Copies of this chain bind each other. A is one copy, B any other.
Amino acid sequence: MTETDATPRKTIAFVAYPGLTLLDIAGPLQTLAALPRFNLPFEVVTVAAQKDTPMGTDTPLGITANRSFAEVPAPDVLIVPGGEEPTLAALADKELVDYIRTAGATAQVIASVCTGALLLGEAGLLDGRRATTHWIYRERLPVFGATPVAERWVEDGPVITAAGVAAGIDMALKLVERLVSTEFSRLTQLFIEYDPQPPQGPLDWDAIDIPSYDPIADGQIRTALEGHPELMAKLLDAKQA
């Protein structure tokens, strides 16, 4: 591959915040981090309110971002991971949601993994769009003006939303196809050896009574948004929207 210094590089920014679900960010980050390593004209960064400052995740691994929001005001690609209570609490984090809103306003691609879609929604980026999220939260999307879709990932204009957690890897390979080529997406898949063999086979969605899990989501919303009654009410009512 040839590239001169004059080739403009696109910036791919992964948003990090305390308590996120580790695999939501790690799956697509591993996939897309391959681009600059193959001398393709991309810079991949992780952005947070404060760079180089450890944050917790929903696992015993802490994380640090290598850029602050202020340093990456207008990435070309914006990717927002999700999580459970901490992500719901983050809906009330003005600095984070403002960053997603302003960065999303100019980005060519706006992506989410799992409940990262709720953050896109709160930032006003899902209005009138088809979108998906973790299956437990899917029917909460209409409150943001979005139409929920039960697919592994959903592309609608500049917005691409992935289903829960591990779906971020599939979505990222789709993004590589879009940003580079089908051939390079295949090569990336080979290097990260993404040739899944779930020991119990694929999920059997027909056997899963999704509405029966609503109390789990309701409980997480009540816990996470105790101090934010309007946001709490909005998400609790979303099922009926």
A residues neighboring B (CB under 8 Å):
14, 16, 21-23, 25-27, 29-30, 33, 44-46, 52, 54, 58-67, 114, 134-135, 152, 163-167, 169-170, 173-174, 177, 182, 185-186, 189-200, 202-203, 208
Among residues of B, the one whose C-beta sits closest to the C-beta of A186 is B200
Among residues of B, the one whose C-beta sits closest to the C-beta of A171 is B199
Query: Is the beta-carbon distance between A61 and B52 smaller than 8 angstroms?
Result: no
What would 18 more interface pairs be, CB under 8 Å, given A63-B63, A166-B169? Answer: A22-B26, A29-B59, A44-B59, A46-B60, A60-B65, A61-B63, A62-B65, A134-B193, A135-B193, A165-B191, A165-B194, A166-B193, A170-B199, A177-B199, A189-B198, A189-B200, A190-B203, A196-B202
Residues of B within 8 A of A189 (CB): 198, 200, 203
Among residues of B, the one whose C-beta sits closest to the C-beta of A192 is B165
Residues of B within 8 A of A164 (CB): 191-193
The 5 closest A-B pairs by CB, nearest first: A164-B193, A26-B26, A62-B64, A196-B196, A23-B30
Query: Is the beta-carbon distance between B45 and A59 smaller than 8 angstroms?
Result: no
Question: How far is B59's CA from A192's CA once the two chains are assembled, in angstroms?
Answer: 13
Residues of B within 8 A of A60 (CB): 14, 29, 33, 44-46, 65-67
Query: Is the beta-carbon distance between B14 and A23 smaller than 8 angstroms?
Result: no
CB < 8 Å: which of B64, B165, B177 contacts A64?
A: B64
| Listed A/B pairs (18) with beta-carbon separation below 8 Å | A26-B27, A33-B60, A44-B59, A46-B61, A62-B63, A166-B192, A166-B193, A166-B194, A170-B196, A170-B198, A170-B199, A189-B198, A189-B200, A193-B203, A194-B196, A194-B198, A194-B203, A196-B196
| Minimal beta-carbon separation of A57 from chain B (angstroms) | 9
Among residues of B, the one whose C-beta sits closest to the C-beta of A13 is B60
Question: How far is B196's CA from A103's CA once the two chains are assembled, in angstroms?
Answer: 30
Question: How far is B194's CA from A114's CA once the two chains are assembled, in angstroms?
Answer: 12
Among residues of B, the one whose C-beta sits closest to the C-beta of A64 is B62
Residues of B within 8 A of A174 (CB): 199
Most chain B beta-carbon contacts within 10 A, residue among A54, A60, A173, A177: A60
Residues of B within 8 A of A165 (CB): 30, 191-194
